[in-house]
Structure 1
Amino acid sequence: MTTPRGTQDAPLLIVRGEAELEVEPEIARISVTVSARGRDRRTTLDDLTRRNATTLDLIKAYPDAVEHLSTGAFSITPELTEHGRGERVRAYHGRVHLTAELTDFTLLGELTTRLADMELTRVDGPWWLLRPDSPVHRQARRQAVQDAVQRAHEYAHALDTTIAALIELADTGTERTRSTRMPFERGVRRASMANTDQAPEPLDLEPQKLRVTAEVSAQFTMAPPTLRN
């Protein structure tokens, strides 16, 4: 592809257009790891199956808040003894990874707290996200193009001339920043909660705003300016 070049009759003007929007997230994603540990493989697997089913039932109890739920990796791993002759299994470790995406943030703290209070269950998140087809991305790109056109007019005006034609418009990248995660882990119930059926207080999780940026590069031709000292 030949790079456009300006001439005396049609000088080339190259500008960059930028846009930055600060918006509310649309999705909160959490990761849940359910674990089990035991000396017997079958017992460990049974415990893992039971805890996984309990976790799934709890998440599905929030149908209006949870938009997507999926199961990821599953593993049963033997732990071998460090000393002694031969390979002997000391214990078995089982894990199942789940991912849930919520759109109702008012129930996020309650669900996250209840999950974190379960036996041998780890919760990571939330990660605050936008939908891939969110109109925010389109809005940012539109504003970036408008910024490029505005800059081109300003440069042309500084030369006492006008923009003639658009030669090229390139999208140099759209990026959204994500919030940092907040990990929660409960390997064993605390003694203060082991003897009571009282549910823990829900965590207060405030959605973190996201910054969406867009950038374009634009090339225009101008009417020949009259350069003055």
Structure 2
Amino acid sequence: MTSTPEEPQPAAPDEPPPTPTPYGTPDAPRIAVRGEAHLEVDPELARIGVTVNARGKDRRTALDDLTRRNTTVLDLIKTYGDAVERLETGAFSITPELTRHGRGERVHTYHGTVRLTAELTDFTALGELTTRLADLELTRVDGPWWALRPASQAHRRARQQAVREAVLRAREYAEALGTTLAALVELADIGAENAQPYPQPPARMRSVAFAAETADPVAPPLDLEPQRQHVYAQVNARFTMVPPRL
């Protein structure tokens, strides 16, 4: 006697997931609030832009002059040691200038340019350095642009203050209903941290070109007042609360 193999039974369908209740229920009502924070703090960094220029009747003369001036600027900035956190060369160019009159294309002179960026943490040294740089021939100084470090503790303080503000606001709503908060359901960072690394550029401090010989032998340091930085943070928070008696 032979037995017939049993046919496989179809699998039971999965149970549908419970329907979410984003707006809460009478047994677990929800409160949705936004917490905000705004701090005004001192800057931690100052950035300046330095443009070194040179010109000559031929390309080699312009290049040699530009190299010399660039080395002078770099050496001057480096004498400030730890006060300078970053020093970078951004762009370099040698450009021929053609004569405006006469037939044919003839090179009248060559212009050379090197652009540098320096970031400083010592704002006392900043005023002195910018003045000394601006006193150099064919050298232009722009800035300063004030900023916080990307990992500044000011950002952390703003985020924490925004969370505390959200909790406080939710408690006030619950107290207005004669009840208390029960649990935190959701806390969302909506990317409201909005400190600008470099605010809108101010007018340049000074530009010296072709007339540096008329400058004073020793220029007094600039008195620079750091620009206060604004740090923002916002969070969305949802809480459940003990059902109130209405």
The one of 169, 185, 202 aligned to 1:181: 202
TM-score normalised by L of structure 2: 0.85
Q: Note if contact 1:126-1:182 (Cα within 8 Å) is conserved in structure 2.
A: no
1:113 corresponding residue in structure 2: 131
Give 1:203's aligned amino acid: L
* Residue 162 (1) aligns with residue 190 (2): no
The one of 99, 110, 123 aligned to 1:92: 110
2:241 corresponding residue in structure 1: 222
The 5-angstrom pairing of residues 1-229 of structure 1 reads 4-172=22-190, 173-177=192-196, 178-179=198-199, 180-183=201-204, 184-189=206-211, 192-193=214-215, 198-227=217-246
Tell me the distance in 1 between the aligned counterparts of 2:147 and 2:107.
42
Give 2:202's aligned amino acid: R
* Other structure's SS at 1:176 match: coil
Change in CA separation of 1:3 and 1:34 when aligned onto 2, cut-off 3 Å: farther
Tell me the distance in 1 between the aligned counterparts of 2:214 and 2:103.
42
Tell me the distance in 2 between the aligned counterparts of 1:222 and 1:82.
80
Describe the superposition over 1:64-87 as per-residue Cα deviations: whole angstroms up to 9, x where unpaired. 311111111111122233444433
* Other structure's SS at 1:106 match: helix
Give 2:208's aligned amino acid: R
Give 2:229's aligned amino acid: L
TM-score normalised by L of structure 1: 0.91
Structure 2: stretches of 5+ with no match in the other structure: 1-19
Give 2:222's aligned amino acid: L
Describe the superposition over 1:183-221 as per-residue Cα deviations: whole angstroms up to 9, x where unpaired. 12111335643xx6x211111011121111111111112
Structure 1: stretches of 5+ with no match in the other structure: none
> Which structure has the larger Rg over C-alpha atoms?
2
**What is the CA distance between 1:90 and its match in structure 2?**
2.5
Tell me the distance in 2 between the aligned counterparts of 1:191 and 1:123.
17
Alpha-carbon RMSD: 1.8
